[in-house]
């Protein structure tokens, strides 16, 4: 099954939006806009979506699915992307698929690779990959507490530099990586045996830890 997919990610400082044509296992990026600004997720996401659509030469109504990175990432930025993706999917009556944002980076790695992004508080979000397939994580901890075993590192340049490992090119989630990270399992349905996509799972944010802000009742305790 092929179609046009809108890919969104706001789990890192990269505000990513792209339009991808999916044809089976093949993907082609038709338009992509990325803004590196950890404080501009809400301001930049919609302009980036509209810019990617314009670059691709397609209309919003042409989209057949939405893919969004579900983290791990900071609470505010992550909510912006997931809420926007859900709103687009609802308005267009198309499915929305959530993926681990680290997978959108790790899928472009080879061998035993570590992917890290900024978790703030002097910590990193991390996951381990073997030839692009996640085999550990996602987790959050101090860089010194990340388990050994990886031969290379990818992800946030500043945080990848904390590890004494060869650096790989992938740094932030891309539209292509997000779409390829989805499990596009297909089945047969109907009297004609028509091929249909697997229904998406509900979107679940990967926060990995509790928010800094606490309800007043908890502050009292």
- Given a cut of 60, whether residue 214 has pLDDT beyond it is no
Residue with tokens 């959530």: 98
Mean pLDDT of 190-209: 78
CATH assignment of 2-101+173-220? 3.30.420.40
What residues does each domain of the chain span? 2-101+173-220, 103-160
Name the CA dihedral angle for 52, 53, 54, 56, rounded to a multiple of 10 degrees. 90
Write out pLDDT tens, residues 2-18: 799 999 999 999 999 99
Lowest model confidence (mean pLDDT) among 83-97, 138-152, 157-171, 204-218: 204-218
Cα–Cα distance between 17 and 35 in angstroms, integer?
9
- Partners of 141 in the β-ladder: 124
- Given a cut of 60, whether residue 191 has pLDDT beyond it is no
Residue with tokens 């381990």: 128
Which contiguous run of DSSP H or E holds residue 31?
strand 26-36
Note the pLDDT of residue 25. 84
* pTM metric for this prediction: 0.91
Write out pLDDT tens, residues 134-151: 999 999 999 999 999 999
Question: Binning pLDDT at 50, 70 and 90, where does residue 218 land?
Answer: very low
Q: Do β-strands 186-189 and 26-36 pair in parallel, antiparallel, or remain unpaired?
A: unpaired
């Amino acid at each position: 099954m092929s179609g046009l997919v809108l890919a969104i990610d706001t789990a890192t400082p990269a505000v990513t939006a792209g339009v991808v044509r999916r044809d089976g296992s093949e993907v082609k990026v038709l338009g992509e806009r990325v803004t590196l600004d950890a404080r501009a997720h809400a301001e930049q996401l919609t302009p980036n979506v509209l810019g990617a659509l314009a670059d691709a030469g397609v209309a919003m109504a042409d989209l057949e699915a939405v893919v969004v990175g579900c983290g791990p990432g900071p609470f505010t930025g992550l909510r912006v992307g997931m809420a926007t993706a859900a709103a687009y999917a609802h308005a267009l009556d198309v499915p929305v698929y959530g993926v681990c944002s680290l997978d959108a980076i790790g899928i472009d790695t080879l061998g035993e690779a570590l992917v890290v992004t900024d978790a703030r508080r002097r910590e990193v979000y991390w996951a381990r990959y073997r030839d692009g397939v996640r085999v550990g994580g996602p987790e959050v901890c101090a860089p010194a507490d990340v388990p050994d075993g990886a031969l290379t590192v990818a992800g946030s340049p500043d945080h990848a530099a904390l590890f004494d490992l060869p650096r790989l090119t992938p740094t932030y989630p891309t539209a292509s990586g997000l779409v390829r990270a989805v499990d596009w399992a297909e089945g047969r349905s109907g009297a004609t045996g028509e091929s249909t996509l697997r229904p998406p799972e509900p979107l679940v944010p990967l926060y990995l830890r509790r928010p800094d802000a606490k309800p007043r009742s908890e502050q009292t305790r």
